Amino acid sequence: MRKPYIAANWKMNLDADAIDEFCAELSEFLLDFDAVRVGVFPPSLYLPQVVRALAGTGAVVGAQSCRPEASGAFTGEIAARMVADVGAKATLIGHSERRQIFGETDADVVARRDAALAEGLDVILCVGETLEEREAGRTNEVVIGQLEAALADLTPDVVRERVTLAYEPVWAIGTGKTATPDQAQEVHASIRARLAEGLGGEVASATIIQYGGSVKPDNVSELMACPDVDGALVGGASLQLESFVALLRGGQPGA
């Protein structure tokens, strides 16, 4: 049985005061809510603040990206080692905004993944097709290609214990256009089938596959009712506590 996992990707939003308030209220909510695993991925400047504020709640706190190098001349960047050093436990890797705005390639994804895993961080590996690719009938080819690259050379044990996958169709991120449950399920099922083929049935049935792309309180339950959708990676609707809590409630089994 896979425990649902819903993660907030705050991108470059919120400030110290808003984050204090959000974390205090989320901590209180999590005192008696354990049906969903919770993740919070703030801008890296605020990682230590969020790590402290959510300590003991069971929430996973992680970075939105990281450099693979341990240190060096990379102005403006943060190393996987630094993310671990401030007590964060995870990082997103390969988010479409990183791929599209910052030019990250599949090779960059692998380098970041390896550094993050070596530093003891768990990873959420993001894959997803653009609208043009979907319209050209290339969704499966693109998503499975990114998946194969992102998982290359990982052992079944590492994938089962340290890796979460996020299917995020680029055309649905921040656009208000959500994939229908059928569209999401179709891609999630093909990701899980590829996992089974490459890494075995046990890994395939244990691995969490989140859906991301305009998930909101009013569509989270129908998406997560799909048999292969195990969670959500949420941008816009994770920025207000009330909306995030509604997502967590809506994402619990049987909601």
Return the closest-CA partner of residue 108 out of 150, 167, 163, 151: 150
Q: Could you tell me the smallest distance in angstroms from the CB atom of residue 193 to ligand PEP?
A: 23
How far CA 122 is from CA of 36, 103, 150, in Å, comes to 17, 23, 14
| 207 vs 238, beta carbon nearer ligand PEP | 238
Query: Of the listed 25, 168, 197, 242, which one is catalytic?
Result: 168
Let me know: does 222 contact 177? Beta carbons within 8 Å.
no
Contact status: 120 vs ligand PEP (CB under 6 A): no
Q: Could you tell me the smallest distance in angstroms from the CB atom of residue 195 to ligand PEP?
A: 21
Nearest 5°: the CA angle 130, 136, 139 is: 55
Alpha-carbon distance of 133 to 142, in angstroms, equals 8
What 3-state class would DSSP assign to 255? coil
| 156 vs 181, beta carbon nearer ligand PEP | 181
Would strands 60-63 and 122-127 be described as parallel, antiparallel, or unpaired? unpaired
| 243 vs 252, beta carbon nearer ligand PEP | 243
Q: Could you tell me the smallest distance in angstroms from the CB atom of residue 166 to ligand PEP?
A: 7
Alpha-carbon distance of 58 to 162, in angstroms, equals 16
Query: Among 79, 173, 187, 208, which residue sits at the site for ligand PEP (rule: CB under 6 A)?
Result: 173
Catalytic residue status for 188: no
φ/ψ of 129, rounded to 5, equals: -100, 155
| 175 vs 205, beta carbon nearer ligand PEP | 175
Rounded to the nearest angstrom, the gap between the alpha carbon of residue 22 and the centroid of all alpha carbons in its chain is 19
Query: Of the listed 95, 104, 133, 188, which one is catalytic?
Result: 95
Residues 180-219 as x/- pattern, contact with ligand PEP by CB under 6 A: --------------------------------xxxx----
Contact status: 234 vs ligand PEP (CB under 6 A): yes
Q: Which residues are catalytic?
A: 95, 168
Give the residues lining the site for ligand PEP (CB under 6 A). Answer: 9, 11, 168, 173-174, 212-215, 233-237
